[in-house]
Amino acid sequence: MQSFKAQVMRFDIITLFPEMFDAVTKYGITSRAIDKKLYEVHCWNPRDYTTDVHKTVDDRPYGGGPGMVMLIEPLEKAILSAKAGNAGKVIHLSPVGKPLTHELALSLSKETGLILLASRYEGVDQRLIDAQVDEEISIGDYVLSGGELPAMVLMDAIIRLLPGALGDSDSAIEDSFVDGLLDCPHYTRPETYQEQSVPEVLLSGNHAKIKQWRLKQSLFKTMTKRADLLANRLLTKEESRLLLELDTELALMQEQDSYNEKV
Protein backbone atom coordinates (compact mmCIF):
# COMPACT_ATOMS: atom_id res chain seq x y z
CA MET A 1 0.00 0.00 0.00
CA GLN A 2 1.42 3.39 -0.99
CA SER A 3 1.99 5.88 1.85
CA PHE A 4 1.77 9.63 1.44
CA LYS A 5 4.01 12.06 3.27
CA ALA A 6 2.27 15.00 4.93
CA GLN A 7 2.86 18.39 3.31
CA VAL A 8 5.45 20.47 5.15
CA MET A 9 4.24 24.05 5.59
CA ARG A 10 6.74 26.62 4.36
CA PHE A 11 7.21 30.12 5.76
CA ASP A 12 9.32 32.58 3.75
CA ILE A 13 9.99 35.76 5.69
CA ILE A 14 11.15 39.07 4.27
CA THR A 15 13.00 40.70 7.14
CA LEU A 16 15.98 42.89 7.98
CA PHE A 17 16.49 40.86 11.16
CA PRO A 18 16.32 37.13 10.36
CA GLU A 19 18.00 36.21 13.64
CA MET A 20 14.90 37.35 15.53
CA PHE A 21 13.04 34.28 14.25
CA ASP A 22 15.19 32.02 16.42
CA ALA A 23 12.52 32.79 19.03
CA VAL A 24 10.13 30.67 16.96
CA THR A 25 12.42 27.98 15.56
CA LYS A 26 14.51 27.26 18.67
CA TYR A 27 12.09 27.37 21.60
CA GLY A 28 8.98 25.60 22.84
CA ILE A 29 6.18 24.04 20.81
CA THR A 30 7.26 25.72 17.58
CA SER A 31 10.79 24.34 18.02
CA ARG A 32 9.48 20.82 18.48
CA ALA A 33 7.23 21.26 15.46
CA ILE A 34 10.17 22.20 13.24
CA ASP A 35 12.12 19.21 14.58
CA LYS A 36 9.16 17.05 13.51
CA LYS A 37 9.42 18.65 10.06
CA LEU A 38 5.88 20.02 10.25
CA TYR A 39 7.08 23.34 8.84
CA GLU A 40 10.21 25.06 7.56
CA VAL A 41 11.43 28.65 7.61
CA HIS A 42 13.43 30.62 5.03
CA CYS A 43 14.44 34.23 5.63
CA TRP A 44 15.23 36.77 2.94
CA ASN A 45 17.05 39.97 3.89
CA PRO A 46 16.28 42.93 1.58
CA ARG A 47 19.80 44.26 2.20
CA ASP A 48 21.10 41.32 0.17
CA TYR A 49 19.27 42.74 -2.86
CA THR A 50 20.64 46.28 -2.72
CA THR A 51 23.21 47.61 -5.21
CA ASP A 52 24.86 50.47 -3.28
CA VAL A 53 27.80 50.22 -0.89
CA HIS A 54 25.64 51.22 2.09
CA LYS A 55 23.00 48.53 1.36
CA THR A 56 20.25 51.14 1.57
CA VAL A 57 16.73 49.81 2.06
CA ASP A 58 14.86 53.02 2.90
CA ASP A 59 14.54 56.68 1.88
CA ARG A 60 12.65 59.84 2.81
CA PRO A 61 8.94 59.96 1.90
CA TYR A 62 7.73 62.08 -0.97
CA GLY A 63 5.62 64.93 0.34
CA GLY A 64 7.70 65.25 3.48
CA GLY A 65 7.00 64.04 6.97
CA PRO A 66 8.85 62.14 9.68
CA GLY A 67 10.57 58.80 9.31
CA MET A 68 11.66 56.74 6.34
CA VAL A 69 9.86 54.48 3.86
CA MET A 70 11.17 51.11 2.67
CA LEU A 71 12.30 51.04 -0.95
CA ILE A 72 10.47 49.00 -3.55
CA GLU A 73 13.30 47.28 -5.39
CA PRO A 74 15.10 45.40 -2.58
CA LEU A 75 11.79 44.22 -1.15
CA GLU A 76 10.41 43.12 -4.50
CA LYS A 77 13.56 41.18 -5.35
CA ALA A 78 13.43 39.44 -1.97
CA ILE A 79 9.76 38.56 -2.47
CA LEU A 80 10.41 37.21 -5.96
CA SER A 81 13.24 35.05 -4.60
CA ALA A 82 10.85 33.67 -1.99
CA LYS A 83 8.18 33.04 -4.62
CA ALA A 84 10.58 30.78 -6.54
CA GLY A 85 10.07 28.18 -3.82
CA ASN A 86 6.77 29.19 -2.32
CA ALA A 87 3.50 29.69 -4.19
CA GLY A 88 1.65 30.86 -1.09
CA LYS A 89 0.05 34.21 -0.32
CA VAL A 90 2.22 37.24 0.39
CA ILE A 91 1.09 38.69 3.74
CA HIS A 92 2.20 42.09 4.98
CA LEU A 93 2.08 42.49 8.77
CA SER A 94 0.65 45.98 9.21
CA PRO A 95 -1.56 48.00 11.61
CA VAL A 96 -3.89 48.69 8.67
CA GLY A 97 -4.54 44.99 8.05
CA LYS A 98 -7.50 42.84 9.05
CA PRO A 99 -7.40 41.69 12.70
CA LEU A 100 -5.78 38.35 13.42
CA THR A 101 -8.38 35.94 14.83
CA HIS A 102 -8.45 32.24 15.56
CA GLU A 103 -10.61 31.70 12.48
CA LEU A 104 -8.06 33.47 10.29
CA ALA A 105 -5.17 31.50 11.79
CA LEU A 106 -7.10 28.27 11.23
CA SER A 107 -7.74 29.18 7.61
CA LEU A 108 -4.08 30.05 7.00
CA SER A 109 -2.92 26.83 8.69
CA LYS A 110 -4.44 24.94 5.76
CA GLU A 111 -2.15 26.69 3.26
CA THR A 112 0.96 24.89 2.04
CA GLY A 113 3.04 28.03 2.41
CA LEU A 114 3.04 31.73 3.24
CA ILE A 115 5.38 34.62 2.47
CA LEU A 116 5.46 37.10 5.35
CA LEU A 117 6.62 40.66 4.80
CA ALA A 118 7.94 42.09 8.08
CA SER A 119 8.43 45.75 7.25
CA ARG A 120 10.15 48.50 9.28
CA TYR A 121 10.35 52.28 9.59
CA GLU A 122 7.25 54.27 8.58
CA GLY A 123 6.09 51.57 6.18
CA VAL A 124 6.47 50.31 2.63
CA ASP A 125 6.15 52.09 -0.70
CA GLN A 126 2.47 51.58 -1.60
CA ARG A 127 3.37 50.48 -5.11
CA LEU A 128 5.03 47.35 -3.70
CA ILE A 129 1.92 46.53 -1.66
CA ASP A 130 -0.28 47.00 -4.72
CA ALA A 131 1.94 44.81 -6.89
CA GLN A 132 3.06 42.02 -4.56
CA VAL A 133 0.98 41.80 -1.37
CA ASP A 134 -2.11 39.58 -1.28
CA GLU A 135 -3.28 40.34 2.23
CA GLU A 136 -2.47 42.60 5.19
CA ILE A 137 -2.91 41.40 8.77
CA SER A 138 -2.77 43.26 12.09
CA ILE A 139 -2.25 41.73 15.53
CA GLY A 140 -3.79 44.71 17.32
CA ASP A 141 -4.56 48.40 17.39
CA TYR A 142 -1.10 49.60 18.32
CA VAL A 143 2.22 50.25 16.59
CA LEU A 144 5.41 48.20 17.01
CA SER A 145 8.95 48.91 15.83
CA GLY A 146 8.64 46.39 13.01
CA GLY A 147 6.75 43.48 11.54
CA GLU A 148 8.94 40.74 12.99
CA LEU A 149 7.02 40.33 16.25
CA PRO A 150 3.62 40.29 14.47
CA ALA A 151 5.01 37.75 12.00
CA MET A 152 6.12 35.52 14.89
CA VAL A 153 2.71 35.87 16.56
CA LEU A 154 1.02 34.84 13.32
CA MET A 155 3.42 31.92 12.84
CA ASP A 156 2.91 30.66 16.40
CA ALA A 157 -0.89 30.86 16.05
CA ILE A 158 -0.69 28.84 12.82
CA ILE A 159 1.99 26.30 13.76
CA ARG A 160 0.24 25.11 16.92
CA LEU A 161 -2.77 24.23 14.71
CA LEU A 162 -0.72 21.96 12.44
CA PRO A 163 -1.51 18.26 13.01
CA GLY A 164 1.07 16.80 15.37
CA ALA A 165 2.37 20.13 16.71
CA LEU A 166 0.84 19.75 20.18
CA GLY A 167 1.48 16.83 22.50
CA ASP A 168 -2.27 16.47 23.09
CA SER A 169 -4.37 16.92 19.97
CA ASP A 170 -7.29 18.13 22.13
CA SER A 171 -5.30 21.10 23.45
CA ALA A 172 -5.89 23.20 20.34
CA ILE A 173 -9.58 22.26 20.30
CA GLU A 174 -10.13 23.46 23.87
CA ASP A 175 -8.27 26.77 23.63
CA SER A 176 -9.91 30.16 24.04
CA PHE A 177 -11.69 31.46 20.90
CA VAL A 178 -11.84 28.02 19.23
CA ASP A 179 -15.58 27.79 19.94
CA GLY A 180 -16.02 31.54 20.23
CA LEU A 181 -15.76 31.61 24.03
CA LEU A 182 -12.92 32.34 26.42
CA ASP A 183 -11.35 29.30 28.06
CA CYS A 184 -12.53 28.13 31.48
CA PRO A 185 -10.28 28.26 34.58
CA HIS A 186 -7.82 25.39 35.05
CA TYR A 187 -6.39 23.80 38.22
CA THR A 188 -3.66 21.31 39.05
CA ARG A 189 -1.86 19.93 42.14
CA PRO A 190 -1.85 20.62 45.05
CA GLU A 191 -5.54 20.20 45.77
CA THR A 192 -5.36 22.95 48.42
CA TYR A 193 -2.94 25.88 48.31
CA GLN A 194 -2.93 28.67 50.92
CA GLU A 195 -6.47 27.66 51.95
CA GLN A 196 -7.68 27.92 48.36
CA SER A 197 -9.15 24.61 47.15
CA VAL A 198 -9.83 23.19 43.71
CA PRO A 199 -13.58 23.31 42.88
CA GLU A 200 -15.17 20.09 44.12
CA VAL A 201 -16.82 19.31 40.79
CA LEU A 202 -13.39 18.82 39.19
CA LEU A 203 -12.60 16.14 41.77
CA SER A 204 -15.94 14.37 41.39
CA GLY A 205 -15.11 12.18 38.42
CA ASN A 206 -18.51 13.08 36.95
CA HIS A 207 -17.51 14.04 33.43
CA ALA A 208 -20.95 15.35 32.45
CA LYS A 209 -21.00 17.74 35.42
CA ILE A 210 -17.38 18.76 34.78
CA LYS A 211 -18.21 19.54 31.16
CA GLN A 212 -21.22 21.62 32.20
CA TRP A 213 -19.18 23.47 34.88
CA ARG A 214 -16.46 24.30 32.35
CA LEU A 215 -19.00 25.62 29.86
CA LYS A 216 -20.64 27.76 32.54
CA GLN A 217 -17.25 29.14 33.60
CA SER A 218 -16.36 29.90 29.97
CA LEU A 219 -19.64 31.75 29.55
CA PHE A 220 -19.07 33.68 32.77
CA LYS A 221 -15.54 34.68 31.79
CA THR A 222 -16.67 35.68 28.30
CA MET A 223 -19.66 37.62 29.63
CA THR A 224 -17.55 39.58 32.14
CA LYS A 225 -14.34 40.05 30.12
CA ARG A 226 -15.35 39.95 26.44
CA ALA A 227 -19.10 40.49 26.17
CA ASP A 228 -18.62 41.44 22.52
CA LEU A 229 -17.96 37.79 21.73
CA LEU A 230 -21.49 36.91 22.86
CA ALA A 231 -23.21 39.71 20.97
CA ASN A 232 -23.47 37.86 17.65
CA ARG A 233 -23.20 34.31 18.97
CA LEU A 234 -25.97 31.83 18.16
CA LEU A 235 -26.47 30.33 21.62
CA THR A 236 -27.37 26.70 22.19
CA LYS A 237 -30.24 25.87 24.56
CA GLU A 238 -27.71 24.83 27.20
CA GLU A 239 -25.75 28.06 26.83
CA SER A 240 -28.94 30.14 27.09
CA ARG A 241 -29.96 28.27 30.23
CA LEU A 242 -26.55 28.70 31.84
CA LEU A 243 -26.47 32.40 31.00
CA LEU A 244 -29.85 32.86 32.69
CA GLU A 245 -28.44 31.08 35.75
CA LEU A 246 -25.43 33.38 35.71
CA ASP A 247 -27.62 36.48 35.42
CA THR A 248 -29.66 35.33 38.42
CA GLU A 249 -26.56 34.51 40.45
CA LEU A 250 -24.92 37.84 39.64
CA ALA A 251 -28.09 39.74 40.56
CA LEU A 252 -28.23 37.92 43.92
CA MET A 253 -24.56 38.70 44.55
CA GLN A 254 -25.16 42.38 43.80
CA GLU A 255 -28.15 42.43 46.16
CA GLN A 256 -26.06 40.81 48.88
CA ASP A 257 -23.21 43.29 48.38
CA SER A 258 -25.68 46.17 48.55
CA TYR A 259 -27.19 44.77 51.74
CA ASN A 260 -23.77 44.31 53.34
CA GLU A 261 -22.84 47.91 52.56
CA LYS A 262 -26.00 49.17 54.28
CA VAL A 263 -25.42 46.97 57.32
Name the residues annotated as catalytic: 95, 122, 160, 175
118 neighbors 146 (Cβ within 8 angstroms): yes
Please report the DSSP string for 2-65 in residue order. Answer: ---PPPPEEEEEE-S-GGGGHHHHSSHHHHHHHHTTSEEEEEE-GGGG--STT---EEPPTT--
Closest Cα partner for 246 from 229, 228, 221, 226? 221
Going from the C-alpha of 131 to that of each of 67, 124, 134, 166, the distances in angstroms are: 23, 12, 9, 37
Q: Are strands 58-59 and 39-44 parallel, antiparallel or unpaired?
A: unpaired
Can you tell me whether residue 239 is helix, strand or coil? helix
Is there a cis peptide before residue 190, judged by omega within 30 degrees of 0?
yes
Count the neighbouring beta carbons within 10 Å of the beta carbon of residue 195.
Answer: 5
Alpha carbon distance 110, 105 (integer Å):
9
Tell me the sheet residues that pair with 71: none
